[in-house]
Structure 1
Amino acid sequence: MESGGKHFILVHGLAHGAWCWYKVVARLRAAGHRATALDMAVSGVHPASLHEVSSFEDYSRPLLDAVAAAADGERLVLVGHSLGGLNIALAMERFPEKVAAGVFLTASMPRVGSHMGITIEEFMKTIKPGFFMDSKTIVLNTDQGSRTAVVFGPNLLAAKIYDQSPAEVTKLDLELAKLLLRPGSQFMEDPMMKDETLLTDGNYGSVKRVFVIAKADSSSTEEMQRRMVDLSPGAEVEEIAEADHMAMLSKPTELCDVLVKNVSGCHYICR
């Protein structure tokens, strides 16, 4: 790593895994930074099964452990995509002294004084019937009772999540997703999601926040993304044109530029 390089911790969204960051990881490392993409519990190649992980804290454990293990004096840049915004918000609250910035990529970005689940509730208010197309909902039995999870359908993936990359790239990334996606839970039944005292000004609120708008996101419209910013005032805003929900795959160089610019002041060094 070059002198002055930062350490980026990358957190995927619902049903995805560390694998979806492979293009950004390569670009960040080529630009002289450290990049660590993590699997949350029951995601990617993480060995746990969904019914074994009954809380959002357990789901977030790989990130919380990684941030806790950071060397004294090291300040990480946490990047959360979609649902991953809630994971990094929890880590920012627990370890504000270890986090230089939290970057929310078309993500759930909570605010102090509101429960984290409000971000998902607001999203659900905006979608139309049939939004999830051929996706399926399953019910899990856990130690904390029943919990729902979603299995994304291939039609939804093609129409609303992996839809803006160049055709030949989209086809490859979409097929990769079909092979690697796992059922995902938003943990809305978890009491943590309803706790209005969880996030505090002194911890979460003290860390720099950057919201990255993917302007061509078909699953979370630009209007909804700006609503997320309005719900959590104080965040800086960046935009990536022609980026779909999976901006790390459809516009990886542009996303890398945004990440580096917001922690180093440098522009356009990712290739």
Structure 2
Amino acid sequence: MYLLTTARGHGEKPLASTMSPPPAIIPTAAEGAARIILVHGTGHGGWCWYRVATLLRAAGHRVDAPDLAASGADARRLRDAPTFEDYTRPLLDLLQALPDGERAVLVGHSFGGMSVALAAEAFPDKVAAAVFVTAFLPDCTNPRSHVIEKLTLTDWMDSVTDAEHDPPSVFLGPEFLREKLYQLSPPEDYTLSQSLARVSSHYVADLRGQPPFSEARYGAVRKVYVVCDQDQAMLEPYQRAMIAGCPVAEVRAIAGADHMAMFSALAELAGHLADVANTYA
């Protein structure tokens, strides 16, 4: 069975019909489909998945979208999460609490890819697949910070950084969000981000001091990468360079998706995630 829905949200720039023919089809949850855990990126929270989570749940999928520490509605301040593991702890606790024998599809967006990698390293037997949506995809050779430090994003525009306090922080500015992340997304979702964005960190120094992720744990987890070709923050060539450095089971591409694919390519992304949950259960 399938759930039919319109392919794109209000306010998006129209794309050629050959790229994204409506209506989009969301596969309904198969018997035994894996739980889907959606992991947000820098400055965001579980709220940014609200549209995708709604579609997936309507199709019968089990979905969680936790707030990581000092993110979304989480009450902690950034200083209360001094390490990357502290920041990722809500995801680690959620995964650890899964019943024996249950596995989840972890979906990391943007910096959320790093949290997914840490969770896969910690609990590889609980991860059916790790999906990276225009996300950082660390390898098993270099320091964990490598893929962050190699990203040559030189213009943070009106974003505000603070390197004087621990951990160093960034607050993504409204112009940066509009021009680099949300340029094809519905305007109401960009507006929502202005109300809910929070100060965050990339924890580069902390990650640099950690050993590479292991081949036996993180490296053994099946991975799917979703390329978004209109991402103006993490450009497509960089997405594909990370894929070349870390073997994945599948590469899926969404034409016309900006960095916030959960808004600019809602149904396409939800369809991919539903299919992965059914396929990799």
TM over 0.5: yes
Using CA pairs under 8 Å that are at least 6 residues apart, name the structure with larger relative contact order, 1 or 2.
Answer: 2
Please say if 1:39 is aligned against 2:54. Answer: no
Quick one: distance in 2 between partners of 1:63 and 1:209?
18
Residue 24 in structure 1 maps to residue 39 in structure 2: no
Give the alignment partner of residue 205 of structure 2, picking from 174, 179, 189: 189
Task: State the partner residue of 1:137.
Answer: 161
Aligned pair count reads 252
**1:123-202 mapped onto 2 (5 Å cutoff):** 123=151, 126-128=152-154, 131-139=155-163, 141=165, 146-165=166-185, 170-190=186-206, 192-197=207-212, 199-202=213-216
Q: What does residue 247 of structure 2 align with? A: 233
Residue 120 of structure 1, aligned match among 148, 172, 175: 148
1:56 corresponds to 2:84: yes
Alpha-carbon distance between aligned partners in 2 of 1:35 and 1:44, rounded to the nearest angstrom = 17
| Deviation sequence 1:123-177 (CA, Å, 0-9, x none) | 1xx334xx11111112464xxxx33111111111111111113xxxx21011100
Structure 1: segments with no counterpart, 5+ residues: 267-271
CA contact (8 A) 2:78 2:167 kept: no
**Percent same amino acid among aligned pairs?**
43
CA distance in 2, matches of 1:163, 1:156: 10
**Matching residue of 2:20:** none
1:35 corresponds to which letter in structure 2? V
CA RMSD of aligned residues (A): 1.6
Partner amino acid, structure 2, of 1:109:
L
CA distance in 2, matches of 1:147, 1:94: 23
Q: Per-residue CA shift, 1:71-114, capped at 9, x if unaligned?
A: 11101000000000010101101111111000001001111122
Tell me, yes or no, if the aligned pair for 2:228 and 2:259 is still in contact at 8 Å: yes
CA distance, structure 2, for counterparts of residue 235 and residue 99 of structure 1? 14
State whether structure 2 residue 138 is matched by structure 1 residue 110: yes
Instruction: Report which stretch shifted further, 235-244 or 256-265.
Output: 256-265
Partner AA of 1:217 in structure 2: D
**Closer/same/farther in 2, CA of residues 133 and 232 from structure 1, 3 Å limit:** same
AA aligned opposite 2:198? R
* Unaligned stretches of 5+ residues in structure 2: 1-28
**CA shift for structure 1 position 235:** 4.2
For 1:206 and 1:39, locate their aligned partners in 2 and report how far apart those are by CA, in whole Å: 26
Q: Note the C-alpha offset of 1:26.
A: 0.6
Equivalent residue, structure 2, for 1:13: 41
Deviations 1:11-55 (A, max 9, x none): 000010000000110111111110100100000010111112110
C-alpha distance in structure 2 between counterparts of 1:178 and 1:234, whole Å: 34
Deviation at 1:232, TM superposition (A): 1.1
The answer to whether the 8 A contact 1:82-1:105 is kept is yes
CA contact under 8 A between 2:70 and 2:78: conserved in structure 1? yes
Tell me the SS of whatever aligns to 2:168.
strand
Structure 1 window deviating more from structure 2 (207-216 vs 224-233): it is: 224-233
- The residue identity in structure 2 corresponding to 1:11 is V
Partner of 2:105: 77
Offset of 1:249 from its aligned partner?
1.2
SS at match of 2:225: strand
Aligned residue identity for 2:63: A
TM-score (norm 2): 0.86
Whether the 8 Å contact between 1:38 and 1:63 is mirrored in structure 2 is yes
Counterpart of 2:210, as a letter, is D
Answer yes or no: is the 8 Å Cα contact 2:35–2:277 preserved in 1: no
Paired residue secondary structure (2:157): coil
Report which stretch shifted further, 48-57 or 230-239. Answer: 230-239
Deviations 1:219-239 (A, max 9, x none): 111111111111212342110
Runs of 4+ aligned structure 1 residues displaced above 6 Å come to none
Note if contact 1:213-1:237 (Cα within 8 Å) is conserved in structure 2. Answer: yes
